[in-house]
A and B are shown apart, each in its own frame.
Chain A
Amino acid sequence: MTTDRRTPLDAVHDALGATMTDFAGWRMPLRYGSERDEHTAVRTTAGLFDLTHMGEIEVTGPEAARALDHALVGFVSKIGIDRARYTMICTEEGGIVDDLIVYRLGEEHFVVVANASNADVVAGSLKYRSTDFDATVRDASEEYTLLAVQGPASTAIVGSLTDADLPALKYYAILRTEVAGVPVLLARTGYTGEDGFELFAAPDDAVALWDALLAAGKPHGLVPAGLSCRDTLRLEAGMPLYGHELTRDTTPYEANLGRVVRLDKPEDFVGREALAAAEADVRRTLVGLTSPGKRVPRAGYPVVDADSGERVGEVTSGAPSPTLGMPIAMAYVASERAEPGTRLAVDIRGKAEPVDVVALPFYKRG
């Protein structure tokens, strides 16, 4: 894949000395200095992320809610105005096409945020699945830049740049306001396990908004943060990543996310039949693993029985946890091995290293 898409902050990242990487065709910052320092800043003060690669799909019209009820596994018409919901789009067979955040901006106005690698597929599927409804689906990704301020100092930082009543803004709520004089959609959402905000703005305002947040955040210890620490933060928080924990070959039930599937919705939705069957027959389960050793279980490594060496699962994500100071991983294992406290092993390049099944998340903010 070629890296041909650049965010409006591309030159800013270069000026900050970022190590850049290709991510789903986008040139994105991996880290600016030490990814561990960025991780620690998000846990203790705050980090500033450029997430412009995420896809934004607008769904509008009198039947926008009904169309999304049909297209997604969640009960979208139950979402209150100015609120958000974590949901998924599944195949007819119940496999996960993508995990999504749906923001409801009005009675007939939704913004669906998709992962960068899936934005086109999700936009196409939503269009196709909406054809029988009075609703318009439009890929609006080009119209938004997305920044995130994450960490315990985020309210103080963003609050210093806006008149909005941030303490009143609930988790998974969104409002239209101005931050540093820039019109934004300001949401209390994130992917790090910390309190924080996501700011949707016009691409032309990206640099001004970034600079204002960075300057306002400096006294609070805010640092620019890249995709590398975003991955260790979300892993510690037990949050799944598309392409790792979530794929077309996994169901929400296997991923311990059965709660997002609303089989109680009155009308039919894509995947309902397969998902109802999947709920009744969960053979493998997503678990957390910790290792007392130093070597890290990584995606694709086999999980094996500690005694017999029999293969019982596979690691989906793994990293050294900066907060816990030990290797952590998520893995699918046979459901009878999923109980916290179970001792298993991971085949790390030919050597079986012991691991323990633990409850997710690994880290929860205090």
Chain B
Amino acid sequence: MHAPQHLRYSKEHEWLDEAASPAVVGITAHAAEALGDVVFVELPEVGRAVVAGEPCGELESTKSVSDMYAPVSGEVVEINDAVVEDPALVNSDPFGAGWLFKVRIDGEAEGLLSADEYAAFCGE
């Protein structure tokens, strides 16, 4: 399973790049594969405060709708307009061009998994 080592992961299958400034959030390749073709992405608005573990948007695929969860608490400072225009980026490049939003983190990110822990969590 592809899960870059420098990222941290939530059990809801979001990834967080803490080293970036501001931090970047996306969903994992594992989640994108499970969803199937993503056709609609609803992202949180810039300026919104998101709370770790709580829904902050929606991912709609051919067969289903899934909530998007915030992997960390903070303020949304930028959203990926390209992925709103072309939701297929979530499938084709989930760790790159398919990133979802950037967040200014409040305090510390807690309860996130390392790449190896996440792979184990996904049962691979």
Q: Which of B33, B37, B60, B91 contacts A296 (CB 8 A)?
A: B60
Residues of A within 8 A of B53 (CB): none
Q: A349 near B: Cβ within 8 Å? A: yes
Alpha-carbon separation in the docked complex, A34 to B90 (Å): 13
Interface residues on B, range: 10 to 19
Q: A196 near B: Cβ within 8 Å? A: no
Q: Which of B36, B40, B42, B65 contacts A228 (CB 8 A)?
A: B36
Main secondary structure of the interface of A (DSSP, over half): mixed
Q: Known: A296-B65, A349-B65. Contact between A34 and B37, CB under 8 A? A: yes
Q: A36 near B: Cβ within 8 Å? A: yes
Q: A364 near B: Cβ within 8 Å? A: no
Residues of B within 8 A of A19 (CB): 33, 36
B62 contacts A319, C-beta separation under 8 Å? yes
Residues of A within 8 A of B36 (CB): 19, 30-31, 34-35, 228
Q: A294 near B: Cβ within 8 Å? A: yes
Closest B residue to A325 by CB, please name it: B39
B108 to chain A, nearest CB (A): 32
Q: Known: A228-B63, A232-B62, A295-B60. Contact between A320 and B91, CB under 8 A? A: no
Alpha-carbon separation in the docked complex, A150 to B3 (Å): 37
Q: A104 near B: Cβ within 8 Å? A: no
CB pairs A–B below 8 angstroms (22 shown): A19-B33, A31-B36, A34-B36, A34-B37, A34-B91, A35-B37, A35-B62, A36-B37, A36-B62, A228-B36, A228-B62, A228-B63, A232-B62, A295-B40, A295-B42, A296-B40, A296-B60, A296-B65, A298-B65, A320-B60, A320-B62, A349-B65
A residues in contact (CB < 8 Å) with B: 19, 30-31, 34-36, 228, 231-232, 294-296, 298, 319-320, 349
B residues in contact (CB < 8 Å) with A: 33, 36-37, 39-40, 42, 60, 62-63, 65, 91
